[in-house]
């Protein structure tokens, strides 16, 4: 399978009065065409910023983005407008990501209008087609977002993202704002669309059950850095990084008699402003030693399984 997206040493720092905030710090990954890369991490770990920077909705500080074999890191604004045909985003909150003064049809039509390829009639046909694809009844075309429930609203957000026939979509927590019952519907819709339209997803979420369900590969982020990367099955079967282990131990098991070893990380998240070099988890990690103060490099512990922890092997034994 070919690569659709390759990100190398991507950095995004925000200027704050106290110093640069490392929202995304030296992140590299690849996404294979037609597959889903899940990004998990707690709130504030930079996963949303990562999605925005990949799409250049926010300027990156440094790094390389290669999309479909083309280096797009230094493409200007105009070039990015053309790239938006292929790269789209689905937002977290379907209420705030839809303009309250636009009807369903106007929202889905907007990208088509801006693309200036279709005439009015073709656009209307296309909107109907898209509504059908994402499963919104045609009678809703003149409704306004606030008149619809969360699931339908998110379907509109998906239809808008699909309007331009993209190859790659950043899904920024697309189901976190939805009911569990509707979450499943939307996730299934996204997976069906992936098969049908050969889409690739960068799927950002904090929900471990969601990421397990939808991802082919998963990266775990902590404070702006990727701590572990592996295929979905591999990661859940044998997490290597202490942070991943702690994270996975937090998944509830639906069995009252099950005995679980809950790994609880002590202390607070360290500040992402001006972080010290070395492992960012060190201050909270029970395995931390002097060597953890050195910068960590990802190490391949199994085929396709990378861990940024110098003590991963010791911990395993």
Residues found near another protein in the complex (CB under 8 A): 52, 55, 57, 81, 84, 88-89, 91-93, 96-101, 105, 110-111, 114-115, 138-139, 141-142, 144, 146-147, 157, 160, 163-164
Nearer to another protein, 88 or 200 (CB): 88
We find the least distance from the C-beta atom of residue 186 to another protein, in angstroms, to be 17
Q: Supply the Cα-derived Rg of the chain in whole angstroms.
A: 21
Torsion of Cα atoms, 288 then 21 then 306 then 59, to 10°: 180
We find the least distance from the C-beta atom of residue 55 to another protein, in angstroms, to be 7
Residues 6+ apart with CB under 8 A from 76: none
Cα 192 versus chain centre, distance: 18
Q: Is residue 25 a contact partner of residue 190, using CB atoms and an 8 Å limit? A: no
Nearer to another protein, 55 or 72 (CB): 55
We find the least distance from the C-beta atom of residue 209 to another protein, in angstroms, to be 25
Nearer to another protein, 139 or 259 (CB): 139
Token pair recorded at residue 266: 């002590």
Q: Is 34 left (phi over 0), alpha (psi -120 to 50) or beta?
A: left
Separate counts of helices (H) and strands (E) for the chain: 10, 12
We find the least distance from the C-beta atom of residue 249 to another protein, in angstroms, to be 33
We find the least distance from the C-beta atom of residue 13 to another protein, in angstroms, to be 19
We find the least distance from the C-beta atom of residue 272 to another protein, in angstroms, to be 21
Nearer to another protein, 23 or 55 (CB): 55
If you ran DSSP here, which 8-state letter would residue 273 be given?
B
Nearer to another protein, 110 or 299 (CB): 110
Q: Is residue 230 a contact partner of residue 305, using CB atoms and an 8 Å limit? A: yes
Nearer to another protein, 103 or 270 (CB): 103
Q: Is 62 helix (H, G, I), strand (E, B) or coil?
A: strand
We find the least distance from the C-beta atom of residue 216 to another protein, in angstroms, to be 24
Q: Is 263 left (phi over 0), alpha (psi -120 to 50) or beta?
A: beta
Nearer to another protein, 146 or 262 (CB): 146
- CA distances 20 to 11, 23, 147, 222, 247, Å, are 11, 9, 42, 17, 27
Report the C-alpha gap between 95 and 100 in whole angstroms. Answer: 8
Q: What are φ and ψ of residue 298, in 5° steps?
A: -65, 135
């Amino acid at each position: 399978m070919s690569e659709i997206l390759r990100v190398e040493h991507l950095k995004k720092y925000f200027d704050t009065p106290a110093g640069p905030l490392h929202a995304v710090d030296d992140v590299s990954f690849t996404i294979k065409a037609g597959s889903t890369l899940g990004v998990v991490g707690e709130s504030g770990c930079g996963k949303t910023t990562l999605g925005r920077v990949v799409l250049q909705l926010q300027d990156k500080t440094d790094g390389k983005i290669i999309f479909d074999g083309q280096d797009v890191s230094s493409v200007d604004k105009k070039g990015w407008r053309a790239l938006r045909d292929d790269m789209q985003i689905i937002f977290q909150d379907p209420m705030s990501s839809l303009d309250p003064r636009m009807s369903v049809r106007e929202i889905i039509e907007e990208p088509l209008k801006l693309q200036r390829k279709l005439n009015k009639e073709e656009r209307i046909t296309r909107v109907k087609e898209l509504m059908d694809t994402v499963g919104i009844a045609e009678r809703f075309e003149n409704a306004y977002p606030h008149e619809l429930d969360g699931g339908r609203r998110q379907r509109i957000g998906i239809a808008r993202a699909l309007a331009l026939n993209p190859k790659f979509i950043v899904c920024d927590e697309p189901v976190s704002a939805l009911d569990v019952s509707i979450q499943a519907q939307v996730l299934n819709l996204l997976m069906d669309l992936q098969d049908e339209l050969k889409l690739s997803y960068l799927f950002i979420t904090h929900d471990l059950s969601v990421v397990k369900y939808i991802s082919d590969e998963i990266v775990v982020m902590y404070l702006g850095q990727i701590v572990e990367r592996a295929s979905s099955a591999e990661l859940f079967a044998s997490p290597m990084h202490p942070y991943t282990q702690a994270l996975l131990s937090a998944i509830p098991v639906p069995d009252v008699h099950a005995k679980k070893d809950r790994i609880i990380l002590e202390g607070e998240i360290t500040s992402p402003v001006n972080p010290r070099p070395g492992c960012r988890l060190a201050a909270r990690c029970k395995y931390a030693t002097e060597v953890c103060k050195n910068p960590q490099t990802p190490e391949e512990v199994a085929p396709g399984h990378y861990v940024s922890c110098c003590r991963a092997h010791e911990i395993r034994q």
